[in-house]
Amino acid sequence: MERKKSLEYIERDKNVVSRVSRLSYFPLVIESGKGAKIIDVDGNEYIDFLSSASSLNLGSSHPAVTKAIEEQLHKISQYTSAYTYNAPLIEYAERLCSVYPGGEDARVIFGNCGSDANDAAIKFSRAYTGRNKIITFINGYHGSTYGSLSLTAVTTRMRKKLGALLPGIEHFRFYGSELEDDFVARECTKDLEEAFGTYLPADEVAAVIIEPVQGDAGNVPAHPIFMRKLYDLCKKHGILFISEEVQMGFFRTGKWFSIENYEGIIPDGIIMGKSLGAGLTAGCFMAKKEIAQCLESPAHLFTLGGNHLVCAAGAAAFDVYKSQDFQDELKKKITLIKELCEDLMKKHEDMVMFARGLGLSYGIGLGSKTDGVFAGNDTAAFKILYRCFEKGLIVISLAGNILRIQPPLVITEEELKKGFAIIDQAITEYKAGKIPDSVLDNQKGW
């Protein structure tokens, strides 16, 4: 593949952009996209297995979204909702509230991204309960603002040199669906209950904030027994149960919200971002009415939050998600991706440790076996994803050795199959020693 223009841009980027906001995988400078196809500035074409970090669930340049944005742009781009009303915001809010799990009477608070939506959840939970502490989980990712970062526990690199974060945030172990039922049933709330009995008064805990499927941890769905017991514990102690849906919302896991994969759990609040804006930037905390109304104006507002343009885009995307056609197509692809993962595991049982996930969100663990025992292999994962890139597939890794498989939900079955065929070839080439160590330099960035 020709990369001349891409490399030139990257050279320029180095001179003016701080490296702090980027993890380096490959020299990809994107020019355009359509559905699950991405084109770089050199004209190379890729299948997208990343969906802009699950923020483009309807793929790039979806016609319905593009049309809504174009029409809105000719009227007005935005006018702050801090002092005025706007129809797209109201129309999008009505749609979002209509799908609140359990049919609860809900209200929305718009912001600009997933991080500030997490901050909102902290603020409203504290204010509503009059309690100070928040429980959240190790390996959870919640964002980069001081509030959301206080919840985040994926790498100390995100926290170093920043001084004090929010007080009162307590991190506990997350129990994934891969664990044995008996073990989970026995252990999963032990630490919490011990904490409640020794140093963490339960009646001082405002909320539990949890990703039902931990995304950046490597796509780990919570074990259903863990979710149930956690939820029951919350109910017992008057603790709010907040579902963090920034990465997994909007049908990424086959439902509006990933928490709906767990029967009978009605969250008190839902944190949204990424695909909420259908390609534009948006965040939202949606909660039961009494929680969302508990602060006094203007305790939480953003000048551009819920602006005309983003809400017009979001509402158009919402109508696509809701359509029967989209739902029928999605079901087929959910079945297909499962089969493709299983085939890959069978074919490479010496390297693929697991393929776990829900809907169109999978984590494929890569490792090496010594004496029949698997250990994660980060180097292999990087080499394989880099070879995928060279072959025209955008896929990155999570937690070092786990391939992040999150294609746009509008990907065609052909593209999905082709993407998996590329992964298969890349693994085969890795095993044959055909991927040089030099590709590892790309991790260092430019």
Nearer of residues 6 and 247 to ligand PMP, judged by Cβ: 247
Tell me how far apart the alpha carbons of residues 294 and 206 are, in angstroms, rounded to a whole number.
13
- 307: β partners: none
Q: What are the tokens at 188? A: 């999963």
Name the 3-class secondary structure at 229.
Answer: helix
Contact predicate 317/275, CB 8 Å: yes
Tell me the closest approach of the beta carbon of residue 437 to ligand PMP, in angstroms. Answer: 29
Contact predicate 187/230, CB 8 Å: no
Residues 4-43, mask of contacts with ligand PMP (x by CB under 6 A): ----------------------------------------
Q: What are the tokens at 193? A: 């209950």
Total residue count of the chain as it appears in this document: 446
Q: Does 113 participate in binding ligand PMP (rule CB under 6 A)? A: yes
Residues 360-389, mask of contacts with ligand PMP (x by CB under 6 A): ------------------------------
Contacts of 119 (CB under 8 A, 6+ apart): 111, 143, 145, 146, 147, 148
Q: What are the tokens at 446? A: 């430019």
User: Quick one: which of 40, 216, 260, 268 contacts ligand PMP (CB under 6 A)?
Assistant: 216
DSSP type of residue 206: E
Nearer of residues 40 and 211 to ligand PMP, judged by Cβ: 211
Q: Does 211 participate in binding ligand PMP (rule CB under 6 A)? A: yes
User: Quick one: which of 29, 53, 97, 127 contacts ligand PMP (CB under 6 A)?
Assistant: 53
Stretch touching ligand PMP by CB under 6 A, among 74-82, 109-117, 202-210, 383-391? 109-117
Stretch touching ligand PMP by CB under 6 A, among 78-86, 93-101, 110-118, 402-410? 110-118
Tell me the closest approach of the beta carbon of residue 175 to ligand PMP, in angstroms. Answer: 18
Tell me how far apart the alpha carbons of residues 220 and 217 are, in angstroms, rounded to a whole number.
7
CA angle 229, 233, 236 (to 5 degrees): 140
Neighbours of 108 (CB within 10 A): 20
Contact predicate 20/37, CB 8 Å: no
Contacts 24+ apart (CB under 8 A), 320-323: 320/58, 320/62, 320/64, 320/65, 321/57, 321/58, 321/250, 321/251, 321/256
User: Quick one: which of 6, 51, 78, 247 contacts ligand PMP (CB under 6 A)?
Assistant: 247
Tell me the closest approach of the beta carbon of residue 312 to ligand PMP, in angstroms. Answer: 20
Q: What are the tokens at 197? A: 């009995």
User: Quick one: which of 115, 261, 397, 406 contacts ligand PMP (CB under 6 A)?
Assistant: 115
Nearer of residues 44 and 177 to ligand PMP, judged by Cβ: 177
User: Quick one: which of 59, 215, 267, 269 contacts ligand PMP (CB under 6 A)?
Assistant: 215
Restricting to residues 117-176, name those near ligand PMP by CB under 6 A: 141-143
- 376: β partners: 367
Q: Does 218 participate in binding ligand PMP (rule CB under 6 A)? A: no
What are phi and psi for residue 22, nearest 5 degrees? -130, 140
Nearer of residues 126 and 274 to ligand PMP, judged by Cβ: 274
Pairing of strands 361-370, 396-398: unpaired
Nearer of residues 33 and 215 to ligand PMP, judged by Cβ: 215
Neighbours of 81 (CB within 10 A): 21
Nearer of residues 48 and 211 to ligand PMP, judged by Cβ: 211
Name the 3-class secondary structure at 436.
Answer: coil
Residues binding ligand PMP: number (CB under 6 A)? 15
Nearer of residues 255 and 383 to ligand PMP, judged by Cβ: 255
Q: Does 268 participate in binding ligand PMP (rule CB under 6 A)? A: no
Stretch touching ligand PMP by CB under 6 A, among 210-218, 342-350, 399-407, 427-435? 210-218
Terminal-residue alpha carbon distance, the chain: 19
Tell me the closest approach of the beta carbon of residue 52 to ligand PMP, in angstroms. Answer: 10
Q: Does 275 participate in binding ligand PMP (rule CB under 6 A)? A: no
Stretch touching ligand PMP by CB under 6 A, among 19-27, 241-249, 307-315, 347-355? 241-249
Contact predicate 106/97, CB 8 Å: yes
Nearest residue to ligand PMP by CB is 114
User: Quick one: which of 69, 89, 220, 246 contacts ligand PMP (CB under 6 A)?
Assistant: 246
User: Quick one: which of 244, 260, 268, 415 contacts ligand PMP (CB under 6 A)?
Assistant: 244
Encode burial over 183-203: b for 16+ CB neighbours within 10 A, e otherwise.
Answer: ebbeebbeebeebbeeebebe
Q: What are the residues binding ligand PMP (CB under 6 A)?
A: 53, 113-115, 141-143, 211, 215-216, 244, 246-247, 273-274
